[in-house]
Amino acid sequence: MRILGAFLLLTALPAVSSSSRVDELATPTAIRTCMESPPLRGYRVDPRVNPYYLRGDFDGDNKADYAVMIIRPKREPSGLAICQGDGRIFVRGAGSEPKFSTKKDDNFLSSNWEVLTQAKFREYACDKKKGALARGEVISLNWEDGTGFVFYNGSQYRWFEEPAGCPAS
């Protein structure tokens, strides 16, 4: 019985340790390249969130862009790296300045996130004026008390948040 217990413990250890890391083989090459670039030195992919990246066309140029949850080791909060298909990289949150969101400590990330088309963004956004500003697909971060949106307006990534059940304007 002790041998069986020891065997089970030893076979479970690799599973426990690997669950806190990101599977590098499953990470797209574009994200690996982006994470190795100078703007992201000192950051790493945040392994606490699954999925830790989304793919979309956030700037509307018909090239694949990636939004990646990032963190600085031993520091909070998490943040967002947007690795655009044209090679530009934007860092929002994760202790970067200026503050990006309206959330306390700029802690705006959620494991409940998705990519919205422009049409869906305009449909979901209660503030229709903001809904019309996006130049590409939009990142939607959802919480019990509302939704945050990250979108590209043609020159920079912007944030706005709406409460749950907000009235359509």
Q: Is residue 147 part of a domain?
A: yes
* Ramachandran class of 111: left when φ > 0, alpha when ψ lies in -120 to 50, beta otherwise: alpha
Q: Are strands 146-152 and 79-83 parallel, antiparallel or unpaired?
A: unpaired
Tens of pLDDT along 98-115? 778 877 777 778 889 999
Does position 116 have pLDDT exceeding 50, yes or no?
A: yes
- State the total domains in the chain: 1
Tell me, yes or no, whether 77 lies in a domain: yes
pLDDT, one tens digit per residue, over 25-75 is: 588 999 999 999 999 999 999 888 889 999 999 999 999 999 999 998 877
Domain that holds residue 98: 24-163
13: in domain? no
The rounded mean pLDDT for the chain is 82
In a domain, 7, yes or no: no
Asked, for residue 9, whether it belongs to a domain, the answer is no
The verdict on residue 47 lying in a domain is: yes
Is 152 inside a domain boundary? Answer: yes
